[in-house]
Structure 1
Amino acid sequence: MKKSLIALAVLAASGAAMAQSSVTLFGIVDTGVSYVNNATGDVNKYGVHTSGNQTSRLGLRGTEDLGGGLKAGFWLEGELGTDIGAGSGATGPLDFKRESTVRLSGNFGEVRLGRETTPTFRAGSKYDLFSSTGVGQFYGYKAWNGTVGAAYGADDNTIRANNMVSYSSPNFSGFTANLSYAFDEKQGLNKTGRYAGGNVGYDNGPLSVTAAYGSLSGGTGDRDEFSVGAGYNFGVAKVVGLAQQVKYKSDVLGVSSAKYNNYLLGVSAPVGGVGEVKAQYAFYDQQGDAKAHQVSLGYVHNLSKRTALYGTVAYLKNQKGSQMSLNAKNVNNNVDTRTNLSGVTTGANQTGVQVGIRHAF
């Protein structure tokens, strides 16, 4: 009898522990139709895209309450190419390269280990009205320098980093901070792949302000990035702005350093309690005289809390050697190049249109 009572007590305790744990399957399916003109070969491209409004993804996340305010958790998230049923947004199998972390949180904040987005990318993307995807997105985080940047590998745009340890502070009356360090793990010369960065922000009521700095080491030099963003919600409309600078410091004889300044200004407004209209302007001041201007207009109509219809129109004007392009994922990410009257090869101007449906679960 006594043994039975002990067994019941153990089972009860186990059930209580299980009740304090949770695992959630989540994701976004975003698919639509795109059109982009002046692609490579002076052709117009159109077809079914993925990730026009938000990146399509599939993930698992979980938490366990350890007691005393301490929690353990994990986050596994991979991109989906919903137009062709593939992982990684293209043709590969499903992986967890969007995020793969284990975490520990409490009154001290949160510590994460694994692969995830960098604090510099998170700080900037929160002010992009087009959620860093689709033809309307802000392209300030592209791998700008093909010569120096090639040494950094697949993450030379510093959107994400492998082998990272990050710390996020608690919220102090709206103030937060994040510090992250990604180990190079001796993958190459000059600590290739090592990233160190952080951000500080203030989000309280209608006001949001964030500053961030990060540095990525490569075999031929360093990529340094600094940004300051802000937003204010007036109720009838929200205004956002961002200034970003990306520097490549070359350590290779004969390879010059480079500096890129990128700017964003946008406004969005609710429509009828179920929709949102948004407009965004971006200016990309590239190495030398190359410059590009981008205007993006969009509308999102919420059919429910989880499902929305959207439409986006974007225009990109390349000048003096700029060869930027609009990215309609799995439809177009290139631009036709031409020689102008001054003999400089430059990218053609592009117009992109996307309509689609987004469902979250």
Structure 2
Amino acid sequence: MKKSLIALAVLAASGAAMAQSSVTLFGIIDTNVGYVNNVATAGGGDTNKYGLGTSGASTSRLGFRGVEDLGGGLKAGFWLEGEIFGDDGNASGFNFKRRSTVQLAGSFGEVRLGRDQVPSYTKASSYDLFNQAGIGQFMGWSAWGGSNQTAANSNNDANGVRSSNMVSYYTPNFSGFTAGLGYGFDEKSDAVNDKKGRYVGGFVAYDNGPLSVTLAYDEKSALTVNGLKGVDRNVLTLGASYNLNVVKLVGIAQQTKDDRPGLSKGKNNAYMLGASAPVGAGEVKLQYALYDQKVIDSKAHQISLGYIHNLSKRTSLYGTVAYINNKDASSLGLVAKGLGNTGIAVGDNQTGVQVGIRHSF
């Protein structure tokens, strides 16, 4: 009898603990049939590429997140998330490089530790109508000839949108105002430049009714840009949107500036204007971007048209057509994951098409 009572007490205590915590499996599978022309070849010519691709409307992903209620408004949690390549089943393996954080949240806001999107990108990128995915996406967050990926240091993605070894803080909402701040440690991983891999940046935002405005700034230290080492890069981004219900207007203005040792500053400016409108069970999106690459005195123009048709809350069909026009020394190519290299020759133009299905769970 006593053993039964003890067992019941243990089960009751276990049930109470489980009621205060939860773990969720989530993800997105986005696979498409794609086509891109004028892809540069090793022999100096060009070719057309077509086949099955991934992440045309949203980045495919698989993740686990959990939260524990500690009482008094305090919560602890974790988030592990990795990218899925539905076209080949992650032939190169699966990892949690999209996000791997542990966090503590309460009335003070939220503190995260680990690898994550940098705060400056998290909010500012939300104004891209194409979700930073597929051939239609705004490419202001490009590597611009830079990389911080070496065998000794892989703190930052080449495009700087994520950082490892990062501490970040997000404020609560103060009457529509929010902010975020992050610091990525370099951890002295490079014997030549002890700042390599360091990140610092953040954003302030205001969201009230139909209006949203964000100002973001970040700095990455000791990048290698076009073979030149020790380059410090800062990015300033202003994004905004206004929802008129019948149409949503968005815009981004961005400046990427490189402090290059022994040379003048290198600068790349990017601008985007877009509009989306609900149509029946779907949404039509039109977006224009200008990439003013002052560092090479060249420009590129991109126009993207897309439609998403929602079959349910979790499943949708989509189609995107995009065109990029490179001027002078510009060689920006459309992003079509799964088709391999889609780079183009200097001054060439490129057209791409993606038709696919997206399912979230």
TM-score, length-normalised on structure 1? 0.91
The reply to whether residue 288 of structure 1 matches residue 296 of structure 2 is yes
Question: What is the aligned partner in structure 1 of residue 161 from structure 2?
Answer: 159
The CA deviation at 1:190 is 3.8
2:243 to 218, 233, 244: 233
CA contact (8 A) 2:35 2:50 kept: yes
**Amino acid aligned to 1:173:** S
Displacement after TM superposition at 1:333 (Å): 4.0
Contact 2:148 2:157 (8 Å CA) reproduced:
no
Q: Is the 8 A contact 1:326 1:333 kept in 2?
A: no
Structure 2 residue 308 is matched with structure 1 residue 306: no
Please list the CA deviations of residues 168-219 of structure 1 after superposition, one character each: whole Å capped at 9, or x if unmatched. Answer: 0001121111010000000111410010000011112111111100000115
1:36 touches 1:332 (CA, 8 Å); kept in 2?
Answer: no
**Coordinate RMSD, CA, aligned:** 1.7
CA contact (8 A) 1:302 1:309 kept: yes
- Segments of 4+ in structure 1 off by > 6 A? 1-4, 148-152
Measured in 2, the distance between the counterparts of 1:56 and 1:216 equals: 27
Quick one: distance in 2 between partners of 1:289 and 1:333? 25
Q: Following the alignment from structure 1 to structure 2, what is the Cα–Cα distance between the partners of residues 194 and 65? A: 33
Q: Give the match for residue 263 of structure 1.
A: 271
- Report the equivalent of 1:174: 176
Hey, what's the Cα distance between the residues in 1 that align with 2:215 and 2:126?
A: 12
Cα deviation 1:256-280 (Å, max 9, x = unaligned): 53111100000000011x1000000
Residue 329 of structure 1: SS of its match in structure 2? coil
Specify every segment of 5 or more residues in structure 1 that has no aligned partner in the other structure, as ranges: 338-345
What is the CA distance between 1:320 and its match in structure 2?
Answer: 1.0
Match of 2:351 in 1: 351
SS at match of 1:126: helix
8 Å CA contact retained: 1:75, 1:99: yes
Unaligned runs of 5+ in 2: 223-228
Find the aligned partners of 1:291 and 1:244 in 2 and give their Cα distance.
14
- In structure 2, what is the Cα distance between the partners aligned to 1:2 and 1:207? 63
Q: Give the equivalent residue in structure 2 for 1:71.
A: 75
- Distance between the aligned counterparts of 1:136 and 1:311, measured in 2? 10
Asked whether the 8 Å contact 1:114–1:163 carries over to 2, the reply is yes
For 2:319 and 2:145, how far apart are their aligned partners in 1?
A: 32
What TM-score does the superposition give when structure 2 sets the normalisation length? 0.91
Residue correspondence of structure 1 range 1-361 to structure 2 within 5 A? 8-41=8-41, 42-86=46-90, 91-146=91-146, 155-188=157-190, 189-218=193-222, 220-251=230-261, 253=262, 255-272=263-280, 274-286=281-293, 287-337=295-345, 346-361=346-361
